[in-house]
Amino acid sequence: MHCNNMQNNKRQTIFAFRFSRKRHGFSLIEIIVYVGLLGTISIFITNSLIQIISTYQHARVQREVLSNARLIIETITKKISYSQEIYAPTSRLNDDNGQLSLITPLDVPPQHTTAYLDIWTNGNRLLIRQEGQETTTLSSATVQITQFRITRISQRLGREAIQITLGVSSNAQPLIASTTLYATTALRGNY
């Protein structure tokens, strides 16, 4: 590798510039410097990559929580505003694991004028089922419902509203993203 031929001196000027002519120990220092540099650089690059990936994951988790929460609150408030009344016997009110039962004139089974609609949480997912239809999951598997609290507001005769407190948080540990949304909707099916 190291050419010591003095007759090729001219060719080596450039090296002579940088390194002393006496090159004993050079290889060792070179290797140490290279290995050191390589190590530092690879540590830096790996670190940055890990950081980038975790930030992207954080963003993804946050986006999932947000879009789930938005979809759920929009769906529920629409369902409530079309409903005629709350069906109290099967509703679980004022509880963080709530269940909301509504009597709605929309999408009723044949020969019925109204249908029952249930929205509930099993402590993890939010589910919805309308009479005569399949149970549907409103929340995705990547998030969990931490709070689904229903408060009934009775403003006066025939003027009922429902306040919903919805807590959605990410499933992916330890990436925490969570949101708490409040919404009040009047039952306008009887407006």
Partner 1 sequence: MHAFGLIEIIIATAIVSATLAGFLQVSILSVRLLRAEQYNLEAVLLAQEGMEAVRSVRDESWTNNIVPLVYGTIYYPVIVNSKWTMSTSNPGLFNNRYTRQIVFSQVFRNGTDDIASSGTPDDGTRKITVTVSWEGKNIQLVMYLTNFQGQLAGTTESKIISYEGAGTDNNLISFPSNNIGNGDPAQSFTTLAAAPKVTRVDALIRRTTPSPSNIYAEIRATPTGAALSTSNLITGSSIAASPATWVEFRFAPEISLSASTLYYIVLRSIPSSTNVASGSAGSINWIYLQTPPSPYSGGAARRYIGRLSNPLDAGQQLDQYDFGFKVYALQ
User: Of residues 7, 20, 155, 173, which one binds partner 1 by CB under 8 A?
Assistant: 155
126 binds partner 1 (CB under 8 A): no
Which residue(s) pair with 169 in the sheet? 144, 178
Residue 136: name the closest of 90, 80, 71 by CA. 71
Query: How many other β-carbons are positioned within 10 Å of the β-carbon of residue 80?
Result: 26
User: Of residues 90, 94, 122, 142, which one binds partner 1 by CB under 8 A?
Assistant: 94
183 binds partner 1 (CB under 8 A): yes
DSSP state of 2: -
Binding region for partner 1 (CB under 8 A) out of 105-113, 121-129, 139-147, 149-157? 149-157
Interatomic CA distance for residues 54 and 109, integer angstroms: 48
* Start-end of H helices in the chain: 13-18, 26-82
32 binds partner 1 (CB under 8 A): no
Residue 69: name the closest of 182, 166, 176 by CA. 166
User: Of residues 16, 29, 43, 49, which one binds partner 1 by CB under 8 A?
Assistant: 49
118 binds partner 1 (CB under 8 A): no
146: tokens are: 């931490």
Sheet of 159-170, strands arranged across:
143-156, 159-170, 178-186
Q: How far is the CB of 135 from partner 1 (least distance, A)?
A: 26
Binding region for partner 1 (CB under 8 A) out of 3-11, 57-65, 111-119, 125-133? 57-65
Number of amino acids touching partner 1 (CB under 8 A): 51
Q: What is the CB-side half-sphere exposure of residue 61 using CA atoms within 13 A?
A: 20
Footprint of partner 1 (CB under 8 A) = 14-15, 18-19, 30, 34, 37-38, 41, 44-45, 48-49, 51-52, 55-56, 58-59, 62-63, 65-66, 69-70, 73, 85-86, 88, 93-94, 151-161, 163, 179-186
